[in-house]
Amino acid sequence: MNLADVIRTIPDYPKPGIMFRDITTLLGDARAFRRAVDELVQPFAGMKIDKVAGIEARGFILGGAVAHQLSAGFIPLRKKGKLPHRTRAVEYALEYGSDAMEMHLDAVKPGEKVMLVDDLIATGGTALAAAQLLKEAGAQIVAAAFVVDLPELGGAARLAAAGVPVSTLVAFAGH
């Protein structure tokens, strides 16, 4: 099974010229979902990972499954104002404006080994912000794993240049 064949492409969403890579079709296919999780975990099996951090929202689905497979805890990284306890935040730039991501202050202990998981890496802005948030909390980020890479946008390269090892399963040309 080729995972790329199970991912739906929606042209001109959310704006003209964008080819949106929709992994909900992969998530809805039991075999493909299992294979994606297994492939995300495989390079890190046997490595002691304390926590998996998933970026809202599809990163929660994938990250939870990866954490289960690795016998690790799970850290939800959420948009500002969505977590109920005391949080730490990092702001990051978007194409138009900015956004913020938060996690609970007690989500990670200094020195814990953390794997970052999300569905897709494009420009890398969100993943870099997540890495910054985790590093500020004292986490040691041992890997960042994504189902989809859009290499022309350079996000995986930016994250790797920031010292975070990157693993992806499928690459699509274009945006």
pLDDT digit string, tens, across residues 103-142: 999 999 999 999 999 999 999 999 999 999 999 999 999 9
Alpha-carbon gap, residue 149 to 170, rounded angstroms: 6
Name the token pair of 149. 């890479």
- Across the range 144-173, mean pLDDT stands at 96
Q: Does residue 29 surpass a pLDDT of 90?
A: yes
pLDDT digit string, tens, across residues 57-106: 999 999 999 999 999 999 999 999 999 999 999 999 876 778 899 999 99
Alpha-carbon gap, residue 114 to 174, rounded angstroms: 30
Dihedral of CA 102/103/106/108: which sign?
negative
Return the pLDDT at 95.
67
The catalytic residue positions are 58, 95
Q: Does residue 45 surpass a pLDDT of 90?
A: no
Residue-range domain boundaries for the chain: 47-171
Residue 151 has what DSSP assignment? G
Q: Does residue 144 surpass a pLDDT of 90?
A: yes
Amino acid found at 36:
A
* Lowest mean pLDDT, pick from 20-24, 30-34, 51-55, 96-100: 96-100
Dihedral of CA 55/64/136/107: which sign?
positive
| Contact (Cβ atoms closer than 8 angstroms) between residue 107 and residue 87 | no
Q: CATH second-level architecture of 47-171? A: 3-Layer(aba) Sandwich (3.40)
Return the pLDDT at 117.
98
